[in-house]
Amino acid sequence: GENVEQHPSTLSVQEGDSAVIKCTYSDSASNYFPWYKQELGKRPQLIIDIRSNVGEKKDQRIAVTLNKTAKHFSLHITETQPEDSAVYFCAALSGSARQLTFGSGTQLTVLP
Amino acid sequence: NAGVTQTPKFQVLKTGQSMTLQCAQDMNHEYMSWYRQDPGMGLRLIHYSVGAGITDQGEVPNGYNVSRSTTEDFPLRLLSAAPSQTSVYFCASSYQGTEKLFFGSGTQLSVL
C-alpha cells in the first residue's frame, strides 16, 4: 500500500519567516495530494491540494509543489503569522485503493 | 448546514464494553469515513463508505464495525473495547471520493 513520510515532525520559525514541510510517497500511481491544518483541539481542515498533472499551486501565502519523478511534495508558507501555528498533515491518494494515506504530521510554531 | 456532526465529544469506557460513535452529515455527501488519530501517527483510516449500503475496510479495521443505512449517517461500533483503542476518532465526508474531506469535531475515547 501507500506509505507517506513527513518531515520535520516539529518546526519553529520566527514570525514573518517562511516555513517548508516535506512529504514523500511510495505509490507512483498516486495522483492527488492534499494538505490539512489542525489547530489545537480542533478538526483537520483542508488548506490546499494539488493533482499530479500540476507542478505547483498557490493560494495567497501558501503553496504546494509536486515532484512526481522524485515522489515528493512540499508545503510552503510565506510571511508566517502566529495563527499559522498548528499541526499540518500531508496525504496522498493511492492509485489502487483510492483512499488517502496521511503523513505523521508537523507541529509548526510561529514565534512572535 | 451543520456539516459533519459527531457525538459524543468525550467517552470513557472500561475494557470489554461496547459503544457506538455517531456521525451524521447534512451535505448529501456520498463518501463517509472514520479515522483514528494517535500521537505521532497521523490519521489512519478505519472504515469507509462510498454510498448507502456500501462499506469497506481501511488500514486499521480490527475491533470496529460500521453500517451505512442512510446517506446521512455512518456510525462506528466498538465491539469489545480495548486500551489500544484509546484515541481521538474523526468522522469525515466528501461529495465524491476522498477529495476535499470535511471532518467532524472528533470524539476523544479513553478505554481503561
In angstroms, the CA A67 to CA A24 distance is: 10
Mean pLDDT confidence for B69-87: 97
> What is the DSSP track for B14-52?
-TT--EEEEEEESS--SEEEEEEE-TTS-EEEEEEEEET
pLDDT at B98: 83
Question: What residues in A contact B58, CB-CB < 8 Å?
Answer: 99
- For residue A34, with 0-12 CB atoms within 10 Å meaning exposed, 13-18 middle and 19 or more buried, which class applies? buried
pLDDT at A90: 98
pLDDT (tens digit per residue) in A8-56: 999 999 999 999 999 999 999 999 999 999 999 999 999 999 998 889 9
Asked if B41 has any chain A CB less than 8 Å from its own CB, the reply is yes
Minimum-distance CB partner of B106 among A43, A93, A104: A43
Q: Rounded to whole angstroms, what are the CA distances from A14 to A47, A55, A103, A109, B107?
A: 21, 28, 24, 8, 33
pLDDT (tens digit per residue) in A89-106: 999 998 777 899 999 999
pLDDT at B3: 94
In angstroms, the CA B67 to CA B88 distance is: 20
